[in-house]
Structure 1
């Protein structure tokens, strides 16, 4: 599959070059979720598609913006798919803030060399029994810390991603103050977003 993707991206880039459009075309490549474990594994990341661990939510993001992004640059700032829309809007001159309220932030400052975004945390709300994880829950990342809270069965996990990228050392018991802080931040975010809440099946 990787070879197929690589081949067809190459065909696309070659076609743009042939049409003299490559210098005037923004290319954004990313995945919607972590890899499916039946086909491969995501090591050193834990688990894969359908999970709230890094193997399920951390994906590649490559952006080509001719004349704007310096070649061979990388960025370690965590971003989320919600950021793609406001990024494109600013890239094409429609402003950093689209007309309607949205959750994401423009990545243009990062693309032009800034080191961080003005954002406190990233949140994921997944109150479903996915075919893979079969555990509804949510996650929040703030700085290097990430909290995962599962609803069924009830379980809280806390990781420091700077030192534990494979999420093997649960720090919830030893850092109760950080658990409380992240629970508070997630609850505040949830009230602001007001999503459809999970509920018991009456049947």
Structure 2
């Protein structure tokens, strides 16, 4: 007997795939497909557990999924297609964020990001075209905060505060992409550096304006 959860999930994937196909066909019919930048990504990893129901997705070797700040919740596919503007079949090695899309699209449209916009992302276009070496992307520092949960990644190091009252945990994602072994006690200086970096960043952002979901931990005003 087929599981209704799997049927619903597969149906959503099929519907999305067909919608992307119709969009591509329309661009092609109007002679626009070669000079249109198409970006495909997910805003979070797949749902691996929903209460007592079976997992909806398989996020591969990485830990957990949607609703968490583990790699299974943060790592997603990201594809760019622009025949007239980007080389085909290339892979951009490095750490990027969906926050990079706004400055990238401003650049694609011929504009220039102004410093007073205070955007968190960077323009990926010179890295995508090969104009710039992508190695610096691997050393970026990125931040996440979801109410009581937070994480900071700098290069291969990641410090994460998960749900509950457990202290922050430290992982080296190059050595341990599954986030299986907390090395905070082995590298206390690295953990302290990342904690200081996160605290400094957090002092620059306002409190969340969105609603509250009680299952993710204590409410933080």
TM-score normalised over the length of structure 2: 0.79
**Equivalences for residues 25-174 of structure 1 within 5 A:** 25-37=36-48, 38-97=55-114, 100-113=117-130, 114=132, 115=134, 116-117=136-137, 120-127=140-147, 136-150=148-162, 152-174=164-186
Judge conservation of contact 1:80–1:104 (CA < 8 Å) in 2.
yes
Instruction: Measure the CA separation in 1 of the matches of 2:155 and 2:23.
Output: 37
Runs of 4+ in 1 over 4 A off after TM superposition: none
Do structure 1's residue 190 and structure 2's residue 210 form an aligned pair? Answer: no
Higher helix share: 2
Q: Which runs of 5+ in 2 are unaligned?
A: 1-9, 49-54, 213-217
Counterpart residue number, 1:7: 18
Counterpart residue number, 2:4: none
Q: Which runs of 5+ in 1 are unaligned?
A: 128-135
Three-state SS of the structure 1 residue aligned to 2:145 is strand
Q: Could you list the per-position Cα deviations for residues 80-129 of structure 1 after superposition, in whole angstroms to 9, with x for gaps in the alignment?
A: 111111111111011144762221111112212131349740000111xx
Instruction: Measure the CA separation in 2 of the matches of 1:118 and 1:160.
Output: 13
Instruction: Measure the CA separation in 2 of the matches of 1:196 and 1:15.
Output: 39
Do structure 1's residue 17 and structure 2's residue 40 form an aligned pair? Answer: no
TM-score normalised over the length of structure 1: 0.86
Three-state SS of the structure 2 residue aligned to 1:16 is helix
Please report the RMSD computed on the Cα atoms of aligned residues, expressed in angstroms.
2.5
Shift of 1:156: 1.5
